[in-house]
């Protein structure tokens, strides 16, 4: 019994060390010297809380997600961001005020409930964030990006959302999306970065896998390799009734154990060739390249929506009752409620997390 516990403990530690290698943006923050001693302490404190239940009262997030708009020019089948009307935008001043509250954060995801580049102040936000020495990484649908303006923001990494290389299927998944326009802008960014001999941004590709495109994973990776993509983020779709009930209740998002195993083996073949791939399966039976054990989003991250409300993760933006409170109205109260949330997280699944497939990864 003791040996089994010891072996599982050591196995989890080794898995987490391997996961650190796969968590490219964390290693990127180290190489950028964004991981200062205090930020490193933050990471260690969060890891101890997640894996051993030792929750320090002054625990702070290592990773910050900020919602920069509500609205999108695409109407993807697994997301309802395109339905927001009228669109709402985070102002630069509020963005600045938000990240200035978190100097001990290492990694910043300035994302939108929709396409972030629709916010005209987004370029200004990115420039400010990189000047504060965060590792800045986000995903875009690449439909409205101004490549020249973006390159000057000095962002560390950007991922293009491409779920299919078949224009018809792409439009079926990313409704209103134009595959050829996305590829045109992606190629322009890759070429301009090469011409200017810039080291940044790292240009990645993110694919959300479902039944609809499971047969295309290899085609998407091969397409990315041919175009000059540097990293791949492959994830199964996070299907929740909080977002699009019709999609969540269909067969499309329901990948089986066999589907996940075949996908994992396929990606492993590419990894052995030296291709950088991070696999995120949103299911409770496969860890992929996640840390072992309890939800890493809860212990490492804080997500702030467009109104300043703080949540354990951005999936919960759709559940307003799960907020820790508003950072502009009661910052210390938010941090205190987050501490209480984490202190009890391992003892009993929080009501807000009921049904989430990543509450615990075996």
Q: Each residue of 275-298: pLDDT tens digit?
A: 999 999 998 888 888 777 899 999
Sorted by sequence, the CB contacts under 8 Å of residue 62 that are 6+ apart come out as 39, 42, 43, 46, 105, 106, 107, 300, 301
Task: Please indicate whether residue 199 or residue 361 has the higher confidence score (pLDDT).
Answer: 199
Confidence of residue 2 (pLDDT cuts 50, 70, 90): very low
Q: Is the full-model pTM beyond 0.85?
A: yes
Please say if the pLDDT value at position 272 is more than 90: yes
State the pLDDT at residue 68.
Answer: 97
Name which of 287, 294, 220 is nearest 260 in CA terms.
Answer: 287
CB 294 within 8 A of CB 55: no
Provide, rounded to the nearest whole percent, the portion of the chain with pLDDT above 70: 90
pLDDT digits over 135-148, tens only? 999 999 999 999 99
| Cα–Cα distance list, 166 to 178, 180, 214 (Å) | 11, 10, 13
Q: What are phi and psi of 205, to 5 degrees?
A: -130, 135
- Which of the residue ranges 6-10, 170-174, 328-332 would you say has the lowest mean pLDDT? 6-10
State the pLDDT at residue 355.
Answer: 85
Distance CA 150, CA 157 (A): 11
CA quadruple 5, 9, 10, 12: dihedral positive or negative? positive
State the pLDDT at residue 5.
Answer: 42
Please say if the pLDDT value at position 8 is more than 80: no
206 strand-pairing partners? 161, 233
What's the average model confidence in pLDDT over 236-249? 79
CB 306 within 8 A of CB 70: yes
CA quadruple 149, 155, 157, 163: dihedral positive or negative? negative
What's the average model confidence in pLDDT over 169-180? 97
Q: Name residue, tokens 């290698």.
A: 21
State the pLDDT at residue 38.
Answer: 84
State the pLDDT at residue 197.
Answer: 96
Distance CA 136, CA 133 (A): 9
Please say if the pLDDT value at position 3 is more than 60: no
Q: What are phi and psi of 302, to 5 degrees?
A: -140, 135
Token pair, residue 234, equals: 């492959």
Distance CA 180, CA 358 (A): 35
């Amino acid at each position: 019994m003791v040996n089994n516990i010891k072996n599982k403990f050591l196995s989890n530690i080794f898995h987490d060390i391997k996961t650190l290698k796969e968590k490219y943006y964390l290693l990127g923050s180290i190489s950028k010297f964004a991981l200062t001693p205090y930020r490193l302490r933050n990471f260690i404190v969060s890891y101890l809380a997640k894996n051993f239940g030792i929750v320090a009262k002054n625990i702070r997030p290592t990773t910050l997600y900020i919602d920069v708009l509500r609205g999108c020019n695409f109407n993807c089948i697994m997301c309802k961001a395109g339905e927001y009307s009228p669109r709402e935008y985070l102002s630069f001043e509020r963005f600045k005020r938000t990240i200035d509250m978190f100097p001990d954060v290492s990694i910043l995801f300035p994302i939108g409930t929709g396409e972030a580049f629709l916010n005209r102040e987004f370029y200004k936000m990115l420039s400010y964030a990189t000047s504060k020495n965060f590792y800045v990484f986000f995903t875009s649908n690449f439909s409205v990006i101004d490549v020249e303006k973006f390159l000057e923001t000095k962002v560390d990494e950007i991922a293009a959302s491409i779920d299919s290389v078949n224009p018809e299927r792409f439009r079926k998944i990313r409704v209103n999306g134009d595959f050829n326009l996305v590829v045109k802008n992606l190629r322009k960014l890759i070429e301009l970065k090469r011409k200017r001999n810039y080291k940044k941004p790292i240009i990645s590709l993110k694919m959300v896998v479902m039944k609809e495109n499971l047969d295309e994973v290899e085609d998407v990776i091969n397409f990315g390799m041919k175009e000059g993509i540097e990293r791949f983020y492959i994830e199964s779709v996070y299907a929740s009734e909080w977002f699009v009930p019709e999609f969540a209740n269909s067969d499309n998002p329901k990948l089986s154990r066999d589907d996940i195993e075949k996908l994992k083996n396929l990606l492993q073949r590419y990894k052995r060739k030296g291709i950088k791939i991070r696999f995120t399966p949103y299911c409770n039976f496969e860890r992929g390249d996640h840390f072992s054990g309890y939800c890493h989003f809860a212990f490492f991250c804080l997500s702030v929506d467009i109104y300043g409300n703080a949540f354990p993760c951005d999936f919960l933006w759709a559940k307003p009752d799960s907020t820790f409170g508003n950072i502009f109205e009661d910052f210390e109260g938010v941090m205190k409620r987050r501490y209480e949330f984490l202190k009890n997280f391992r003892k009993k699944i929080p009501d807000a997390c009921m049904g989430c497939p990543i509450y615990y990864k075996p």
